Structure 1
Amino acid sequence: MARLSIICIALFLFSTVWSATLNIDSTSKRLLVLLDNLGIRESHSFYFKQLADRGFDITYKSSDDSTLQIIKYGEYLYDHIVIFAPATKEFGGRLDSEILTQFVDAGGNVLVAGSNVIGDVIREFAGECGIEFADDHSAVIDHLNYDVTDDGQHTLIVANANNLLSSELIIGQAKKNNLPFVFRGIGMSSDQDNPLLLDVLTASSTSYTANPDEQTLTEYPATVGKRTLLISVLQARNNARVGFVGSLDFFSNEFFVKSVQTNDGKKPTQSGNQELAVALSDWLFKQRGVLRARNIHHYLKEDKSTPRFYTVKEDIVFNVQFDELVYGKWMPFNGTDVQLEFVRIDPFVRTTLKNKGGQLEAQFRAPDTYGVFKFVIDYNRVGYTHLYSATQVSVHPLLHTQYERFIASAYPYYISSFSMMAGAFLLSFIVLYHRDDVPKKKTE
């Protein structure tokens, strides 16, 4: 009985996790915001207002709330999580780094903001994503690129738009507008072997991460130069998105409206923090860069019918509709670099699909090889969700009645065959009808 009970409990837990995995919808807008203290809600109200104006259903909770939970009865209660509680060592209720990782595995999106002190839960979760924060009480220091209102430690640094990732889907127009970004927080480093991580914003080549209270450096800095990450994002293989920002002040009202003036004497410039923060949030919470494929159709070019199987050397047409999610609405996708592969273990045909207002089409001839093939689309571009589609078909050899009766290259053999037949006929005619005149014998 005890063993049976254990099996039942295990099955229940598995079904709970499985159902939770299927629950998250990329177009939903249920957002949970975890705060160190409720004062952050007021000091960062401009950022939260931008999210509310985009239709997000925001729930604010303290990070140490004893009733905190993101899953109930096998269903996730939220689709996105914003963690503005960097100093929290342990979350309240039923939330820890393992549950956050499961939330991402189920397709949920997370935004994490750091500070000079990072709690263990956030460090563990960041480590699972390939991000490592510097030691506590560290800060990004730059003695050349800092704001004039800095307190003398040069931790209120100014990041240049040239250090941004070149992807409008993630950063919007922030790079084109060339506005500076104010940053005060901790530096990060990423796992260079993780292909899913993207460095969105790095510090300048004169920056480093260390404890600003120490007069002299006794150890090599945690990060140096452009290897100092200020903002990094990850898109998991299931298209879940996670963002890490080393500064909680980056999203504050003060930094959003701040007039930036560097120590080089240039005129004050409006901060680009708000523009970058909003664009980054739109991408993280899947308001941009989400693709889907639908209406997949393939048929013969001659009669536009879809047969049970194709035959070698037939002309095939493949159609698919691509849509892009833009602020909650599905719009035709305008990309012109989508490729189609006709695969049997290895690709036999690779061609670029022609885009006609979101309707993508390719025409090609089936290879002279029969077997089980697949129409494969594997579209993976920076900023877009990974889109994979595979449609299986079979290709048969020619029927006996479909082969050519006469092959041009075999005409010498045809001529030799008919010449042998003609020679045999002539020889037979000569043998049958040729008679030699034999002289008659004289009679006595």
Structure 2
Amino acid sequence: LEGMMAAAPCSLLLLALLCVAPAALAAPRTLVLLENVNIRETHSLFFRSLTDRGFDLTIRTADDPSLSLIKYGEFLYDNLIIFSPSVEDFGGNINVETISSFIDGGGSVLVATGSDIGDPLRELGSECGIEFDEEKTAVIDHHNYDISDPGQHTLIVADPENLLKAPTIVGKSELNPILFRGVGMVADPDNPLVLDILTGSSTSYSFFPDKPITQYPHAVGKNTLLIAGLQARNNARVVFSGSLDFFSDAFFNSAVQKASPDSTRYPKTGNYELALALSRWVFKEEGVLRVGAVSHHRVGEDTPPSAYTITDLVEYSIVIEKLSDGKWVPFDGDDIQLEFVRIDPFVRTFLKKNGGKYSVEFKLPDVYGVFQFKVDYNRLGYTHLYSTTQVSKRRHANDTGTGFASHFSIPVASLNIYMWGFFLH
């Protein structure tokens, strides 16, 4: 019995470690759907970058009959990669509807297409506010093509200046020019959630490269999207690349130079760095925020009262953290606002960073009722941060009535006269 008692703490400790370990060591479960098995080799650097960061990759061909995203109502994966541009029918129980449900459930999706794009990916793009050009079309630019282009001017040299100004999404470092060969996209103008991550130049357009132009192209100039993204209202993220080649080892390692006089030759493209940044964002390694501790109280006190009184001087504070290299660290922002709201905001003020938290002191307005401390932070590239705390506010005990209710009080004498007149009628 003594030995069992001595072993019990060790057993409990082991049990606790076993319970915590899966959460601490859980690798993001990622389903990868390929056009063919060769893509595993031709795009090996990209896949290796994911496994090096701890991703658990399940690699299948897109028509594998055993495919499944959902089982018994639960998602089997956290992320989905589709490197199968021409797929016409997914295998198993995967289709556009299940992928849309996966996104609605908060899943992250990375899609790479090409000029041979099939209907399923076109339909998925449409669901996300992205419209692809027709099959067999390509982005063409007669002024910004690579020196190794075979003659159709579809091997595009994209200028990093055409990237979205969002370091959280595209990375913080300066990039070399980007190689792109594939299909063009345009964004739905009625969908404010679509992100123009990489656009063509003012001289680019999308059309059939082996046909004369007989009609206005689907996409022209900077409306031509090469890479697009979406962050849904539930914080699910999706990235569409019109080029599967963009993620290839060949494009990662290629030298790049525009076929124009006096152009600069770069020993390597910026594709690898951009692909890594995009994957970190879409798979929620970057740009993820959370709310920590929230507190409010009268200035000079430590705990919140059961109710505030009008004109109290209060202090509000909130801890905001961001995910960085798998760890939660303090977020650094200078544009976070607090609102003190009943129906409309009565107070709107900036929060100031104070150590590991953001705080502010302010005087409550001379109005009582039920209010909320509200932080609603929505910035490009970051998950939507929302925090509300409800409080009540009353008059001072010796207040004779200058607030909301006093405007609706009726003198007793006047009420009696009104009622007497009513009965006489």
TM-score scaled by length of structure 2: 0.86
The residue aligned with 2:407 is none
Pick one of 239, 251, 261 that aligns with 2:235: 239
SS at match of 2:87: coil
The residue aligned with 2:192 is 195
2: CA distance, partners of 1:300 / 1:39: 65
1: CA distance, partners of 2:27 / 2:310: 46
**Preserved contact between residue 280 and residue 286 of structure 2 (Cα < 8 Å):** yes
Pick one of 214, 221, 224 that aligns with 1:225: 221
**Worse overlay, 392-401 or 255-264:** 392-401
**RMSD of aligned Cα (Å):** 1.7
**Preserved contact between residue 343 and residue 375 of structure 1 (Cα < 8 Å):** yes
Superposed CA offset, 1:78-135 (max 9, x none): 0000100110011010011111111001000000101011121111111110000000
The residue aligned with 2:111 is 112
1: CA distance, partners of 2:258 / 2:122: 32
- Give, as a single letter, the amino acid of the residue that structure 1 aligns with 2:71: K
The residue aligned with 1:207 is 204
Q: Where do 1:72-87 residues align within 5 Å?
A: 72-87=71-86
Superposed CA offset, 1:268-296 (max 9, x none): 20200000000010000000100000211
- Residues 1:331 and 2:345 aligned together: no
The residue aligned with 2:307 is 309
Relative distance call for 1:258 and 1:310 in structure 2 (3 A) is: same
SS at match of 1:297: strand
Superposed CA offset, 1:162-219 (max 9, x none): 1111111001035xx24100000000000112111110100111111000111x1111
Aligned length, in residue pairs: 377
The residue aligned with 1:67 is 66
- Give, as a single letter, the amino acid of the residue that structure 2 aligns with 1:370: Y
2: CA distance, partners of 1:403 / 1:262: 76
Q: Where do 1:370-389 residues align within 5 Å?
A: 370-389=368-387
1: CA distance, partners of 2:193 / 2:27: 24
Which 5+ residue runs of structure 1 have no aligned equivalent?
A: 1-24, 405-444
2: CA distance, partners of 1:304 / 1:73: 48
Offset of 1:403 from its aligned partner? 9.4
The residue aligned with 2:16 is none
**Preserved contact between residue 205 and residue 224 of structure 2 (Cα < 8 Å):** yes
1: CA distance, partners of 2:55 / 2:242: 24
**Preserved contact between residue 28 and residue 79 of structure 1 (Cα < 8 Å):** no
2: CA distance, partners of 1:126 / 1:153: 26
**Preserved contact between residue 175 and residue 273 of structure 2 (Cα < 8 Å):** no
Superposed CA offset, 1:286-326 (max 9, x none): 00100000211111113223111100000111111100001
**Preserved contact between residue 332 and residue 357 of structure 1 (Cα < 8 Å):** no
SS at match of 2:291: strand
- Give, as a single letter, the amino acid of the residue that structure 2 aligns with 1:251: F
- Give, as a single letter, the amino acid of the residue that structure 2 aligns with 1:237: R
2: CA distance, partners of 1:282 / 1:220: 37
Which 5+ residue runs of structure 2 have no aligned equivalent?
A: 1-23, 403-425
TM-score scaled by length of structure 1: 0.83
The residue aligned with 2:263 is 266
* Identity fraction in percent: 53
- Give, as a single letter, the amino acid of the residue that structure 2 aligns with 1:399: A
In the TM superposition, structure 1's runs of 4+ consecutive aligned residues that sit over 2 Å from their partners are 302-305, 401-404
1: CA distance, partners of 2:74 / 2:191: 30
The residue aligned with 2:281 is 283
SS at match of 2:229: strand
- Residues 1:186 and 2:216 aligned together: no
- Residues 1:318 and 2:339 aligned together: no
The residue aligned with 2:421 is none
The residue aligned with 1:425 is none
2: CA distance, partners of 1:218 / 1:204: 22
Give the number of the structure whose alpha-carbon radius of gyration is greater. 1
1: CA distance, partners of 2:264 / 2:371: 63
2: CA distance, partners of 1:350 / 1:180: 43
The residue aligned with 2:55 is 56
The residue aligned with 2:134 is 135
- Give, as a single letter, the amino acid of the residue that structure 2 aligns with 1:136: E
Offset of 1:363 from its aligned partner? 0.8
2: CA distance, partners of 1:127 / 1:286: 23
The residue aligned with 2:94 is 95
The residue aligned with 1:393 is 391
Offset of 1:401 from its aligned partner? 7.0
- Give, as a single letter, the amino acid of the residue that structure 2 aligns with 1:207: S
**Preserved contact between residue 27 and residue 54 of structure 2 (Cα < 8 Å):** no
1: CA distance, partners of 2:285 / 2:400: 53
The residue aligned with 1:42 is 41
Pick one of 245, 251, 259 that aligns with 2:247: 251
The residue aligned with 2:18 is none
